[in-house]
Amino acid sequence: MKTSHVLRSWGRILQGRAPALSIEITRECPLSCPGCYAYEPNHLGGERTLRQLADFRGEELVRRVLRLIEETRPLHVSLVGGDPLVRYRELEKIVPALIAQGIHVQVVTSAFRPPPRSWAALPLLNLVVSIDGLEEEHNARRSPATYARILKNIESSRITVHCTVTRQMAERPGSLAEFLRLWSDQVAVQRIWFSVFTPQRGASPAERLSAEQRQRVVEELLALRAAFPKLDMAPSALRQFLKPPASPSACIFAKTTRTVSADLRTPVLPCQLGGDPDCAECGCIAAMGLAAVGAYRVGGLIPAGALFHASHWLGQKMGRLRRRRDAAPELVQIEPVLSGDSGIDPASAAP
Ligand code: SF4
Ligand code: SF4
């Protein structure tokens, strides 16, 4: 991550804003993968499910998403679902519009249909294709987005492969190496990421890994890095899978990413996974990457995470004051200390 991006993110945190925004851009998906957290009954807290939300399409979706971006001013936007490519026509307008604003965009899809060809040339776009293990298991879980269909659909694209390791995959010896070999050979694949399946608290789905399996997966991936350069995961992030954040309040990812569901209003809490995820068994690659950054000791002394949590606490206070000031400008006067006017605001720095 570039220093300018880190500084801009820090500026957002000090302003009480989340630097990252994740949008469940549609409630629709042609797949029904076992273990999919988006369609769990408690994903949105239990009152309504993703399928019950009103979502948008066409020009209205484009307009509403761009307005949300204007209001929240994120530096990084993740478009998830459902499957975002259900709305590929709208995304053909939304994605370039965000990139033109210097926003990093990530689209997470099953690649059940080809992504727009023009995306291959877009800077700041990361097209992430979810693949659940080796062909037999993946096809059983993710039909109609089978291996054959993905390989055909990504021919003209540049993609990141993202695999969530399930117990079924962890149980099969050599499956991680085989997976890496197969997808590393594809020209369209730029990098390969792994997450580990995250269960909800108190649940024991078939995908859940045992502690020993998790340990073995981490050790294996650490060893495979040398042979597969497309495996784009730092050792510090991989080791973090063995000591995930203790709770949402200790999770930098949860605190820096605001997630909204398909009506563009309903929040997804406490993190992108929604529901009641078991942080003790979290396997989210983004949470682990940021936890590894948080564990880094600035100047060899202070953990970056401590600086982050202090900045977040301060930013939340500043954000509340700002909102109160905006609501009644004549009543509350705030000096622009540490705000975007202070000169510290890295948000105005060039990307
Ligand atoms: S493709 Fe994604 S959103 Fe759709 S069912 Fe599968 S995991 Fe869920
Ligand atoms: S991303 Fe993981 S550690 Fe963070 S709040 Fe969600 S489940 Fe917990």
Closest to 81 in 3D by CA, of 36, 114, 46: 36
Six-digit token string for 230: 């497309």
In a domain, 235, yes or no: yes
pLDDT score of 10: 82
* Best residue among 271, 272, 276, 308 to mutate for probing ligand 2, ranked by most atoms within 8 Å of CB: 271
- How far, in Å, from the CA of 86 to the mean position of ligand 1? 12
pLDDT of 223 strictly over 50: yes
**Residue 311, in any domain of the structure:** no
Q: From the alpha carbon of 110, which atom of ligand 1 is closest?
A: 1
Residue to mutate, 214, 273, 293, ligand 2, most ligand atoms under 8 Å from C-beta: 273
User: Closest Cα partner for 274 from 292, 262, 290, 288?
Assistant: 262
To the nearest 10°, the Cα dihedral for 71, 76, 80, 85? 100
Which backbone phi and psi does 105 adopt, to 5 degrees? -120, 135
Residue 118 lies in a domain: yes
Q: What's the number of domains the chain is made of?
A: 1
Given a contact cutoff of 8 angstroms between Cβ atoms, the answer to whether 291 and 251 are in contact is yes
What's the pLDDT band for 344 if we cut at 50, 70, 90?
very low
For residue 109 the two structure tokens come to 């899809």
Q: Given the structure tokens 């078991």, which residue do they identify? A: 278
pTM: 0.90
Asked if the structure places residue 244 within a domain, the reply is yes
Residue 79 region, left (φ>0) first, then alpha (ψ -120 to 50), else beta?
beta
Rounded CA-CA distance 214/314 in Å is: 36
Substitution candidate for ligand 1 out of 24, 27, 33 with most atoms within 8 A of CB: 33
Which residue type sits at 227?
A: A
- b/e burial code for range 127-137 (CB count within 10 A of at least 16 → b): bbbbbbbbeee
What domain range includes position 248? 18-303
Q: Does 350 reside within a domain?
A: no
**3-class secondary-structure state, position 66:** helix
Ligand 1 in reach of 272 Cβ (< 6 A): no
Peptide bond into 270 cis (omega under 30): yes
* Average pLDDT taken over every residue of the chain: 90
pLDDT for residue 311: 85
* Nearest ligand 2 atom to alpha carbon 279: 8
Residue nearest to atom 7 of ligand 2 (CA): 279
Whether 107 is in a domain gets the answer: yes
DSSP type of residue 248: G
Q: Which helix (H) or strand (E) holds 54?
A: none
Give the confidence band of 176 by pLDDT, cuts at 50, 70, 90. very high
- The answer to whether residue 351 scores a pLDDT higher than 50 is no
Question: Is it the case that residue 161 has pLDDT exceeding 70?
Answer: yes
Distance 345 CA to ligand 2 centre (A): 28
Average pLDDT over residues 273-292: 96
Q: What is the mean pLDDT of residues 193-210?
A: 96
What CATH number has the domain bearing residue 240? Answer: 3.80.30.10
How remote is the CA of residue 247 from the centroid of ligand 2, in Å? 7
Whether residue 64 lies inside any domain: the answer is yes
- Among 32-36, 238-242, 313-317, the range of highest mean pLDDT: 238-242
Q: Whose CA is nearest to atom 3 of ligand 1?
A: 82
Which ligand number lies closest to the CA of residue 51? 1
Cβ within 8 Å of residue 102, ≥6 positions away:
124, 351
Q: Ligand 1 test: best mutation among 23, 27, 29, 129, most atoms within 8 Å of CB? A: 29
Q: Give which of 249, 232, 307, 299 is closest to 9, Cα–Cα.
A: 307
Q: What is d(CA 18, CA 267) in angstroms, rounded to the nearest whole number?
A: 13
* d(C-alpha 319, C-alpha 327), whole Å: 12
Q: Name which residue sits closest to atom 6 of ligand 2, judged by CA.
A: 271
SS3 160: strand
- In the chain, DSSP assigns E strands to 20-24, 76-80, 104-109, 125-130, 159-165, 189-196, 257-260, 297-298, 302-303
For 177, residues 6+ apart whose C-beta sits below 8 A from its C-beta are 220, 224, 227, 228
Residue with more model confidence, 4 or 76: 76
**What is the model's pLDDT at position 2?**
67
Ligand closest to Cα of 244 equals: 2
Between CA 140 and CA 132 the distance in angstroms is 10
Cα of 3 vs centre of ligand 2, distance in Å, is 25
159: left (phi > 0), else alpha (psi -120 to 50), else beta? beta
Q: How far is the CA of 174 from the centre of ligand 2 (A)?
A: 28
Within-domain flag for 298: yes
What is the torsional sign of CA 329, 332, 333, 339? negative
